[in-house]
């Protein structure tokens, strides 16, 4: 069984209100955040997952209890300050934010404990996924550079799904596989637009900056992958969208799980694309049946990007 460590430094407690037939409201309470959603998908694809996180306060106690009910091992560091949360109202079909809190910034002692825990688990795992916080100020970007560098120095494979200063930092440390969206590349000034040419150039720039392979998601258009120097279009299966959030996280998790099991880069990209495509058909983030993802992966097409 492949083993995956997910660095989810500041998970959140998510509360969602939905409307059921007959005017009956329904409340859903789950642990969430990018790392939790990625860990959930990795576990659903058959990996043995260890999630490393820091939690604190009453909200943290609830989030930790819920995470322990998931199909993963949780290494939770007790922090001095509060865990983040959000409340979303979806009764009218849209997602309205009632209130939200990204979480208090991690203190020095919290970071030291979390770093040590994460490093130990990452050294044991086949693959380590470094996920981002709900707000950039909650976790110092330098932590990602150190983790990527320390794990890489000891021969471990690192996958990252980050943006902004956290992306720059993890590239400085070196990362085997990077997933990023085209919007994040444009916002960072790394791509001029969402054309094939601009995104291939951005992918090559990311490779030069420290990413071994790059996978760029592009909403409802084919993604771009740079694998062993070859630029490829990733044509995702077309499915009806129920919830677009979480598709990118599922894509990262699918690719990481395949790599953890010894699969090649193209298989990893196909599986990641299939996991992301299936996730949009479901309300639950980071979810999707393994057998459906396998079937969809066979339908993902990888074709060379034609020079413009």
Of the candidate ranges 46-50, 75-79, 190-194, 291-295, the one whose mean pLDDT is the lowest: 291-295
Higher-confidence position of 131 and 244 = 131
Distance from the Cα of residue 229 to its chain's centroid? 23
Whole-number Å distance between alpha carbons of 7 and 75? 10
Is the per-residue pLDDT at 80 higher than 90? no
Give the up-direction half-sphere exposure of residue 175: CA atoms within 13 A in the CB hemisphere. Answer: 31
Mean pLDDT along residues 147-163:
97
**pLDDT of res. 280:** 54
**pLDDT of res. 266:** 96
Whole-number Å distance between alpha carbons of 137 and 246? 22
Report pTM: 0.91
Beta carbons of 199 and 216 less than 8 angstroms apart: yes
**pLDDT of res. 108:** 92
Mean pLDDT along residues 158-170:
96
Residue 86 tokens, joined: 């959000």
For 13, 34, 142, 162, the CA distances from 188, given in Å and listed in that order, are 29, 20, 18, 12
**pLDDT of res. 93:** 76
Q: What is the pLDDT of residues 209-249, one digit of tens each?
A: 999 999 999 877 888 999 999 999 998 766 655 455 547 88
Q: Which of 216, 22, 250 is nearest to 129 (CA)?
A: 250
What residue ranges define each of the domains in the chain, with the CATH number in brackets? 3-304 (3.40.1190.20)
Q: What is the pLDDT of residues 81-117, one digit of tens each?
A: 789 999 999 888 778 999 999 999 999 999 999 999 9
Is the per-residue pLDDT at 282 higher than 90? no
């Amino acid at each position: 069984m492949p083993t995956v460590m997910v660095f989810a430094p500041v998970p959140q407690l998510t509360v969602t209100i939905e409307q059921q037939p007959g005017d009956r409201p329904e409340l859903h309470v789950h642990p969430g955040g990018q790392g939790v959603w990625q860990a959930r998908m990795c576990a659903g694809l058959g990996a043995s997952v260890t999630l490393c996180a820091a939690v604190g306060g009453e909200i943290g106690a609830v989030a930790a209890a819920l995470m322990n009910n998931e199909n993963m091992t949780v290494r939770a560091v007790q922090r001095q300050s509060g865990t983040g949360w959000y409340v979303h109202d979806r009764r009218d079909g849209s997602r309205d934010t009632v209130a939200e809190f990204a979480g208090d910034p991690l203190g020095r002692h919290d970071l030291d404990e979390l770093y040590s825990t994460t490093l130990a688990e990452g050294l044991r795992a086949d693959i380590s996924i470094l996920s981002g916080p709900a707000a950039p100020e909650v976790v110092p970007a330098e932590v990602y550079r150190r983790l990527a560098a320390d794990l890489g120095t000891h021969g471990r494979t690192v996958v990252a799904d980050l943006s902004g200063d956290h992306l720059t930092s993890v590239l400085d440390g070196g990362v085997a596989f990077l997933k990023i969206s085209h919007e994040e590349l444009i916002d960072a000034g790394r791509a001029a637009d969402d054309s094939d040419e601009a995104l291939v150039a951005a992918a090559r720039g990311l490779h030069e900056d420290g990413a071994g392979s790059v996978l760029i998601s592009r909403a409802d258009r084919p993604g771009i992958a740079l694998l062993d120097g070859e630029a490829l279009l990733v044509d995702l299966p077309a499915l009806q969208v129920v919830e677009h959030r979480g598709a990118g996280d599922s894509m990262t998790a699918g690719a990481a799980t395949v790599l953890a099991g010894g699969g090649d880069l193209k298989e990893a990209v196909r599986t990641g694309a299939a996991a992301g495509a299936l996730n949009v058909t479901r309300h639950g983030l980071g979810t999707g049946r393994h057998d459906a993802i396998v079937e969809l992966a066979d339908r993902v097409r990888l074709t060379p990007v034609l020079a413009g």
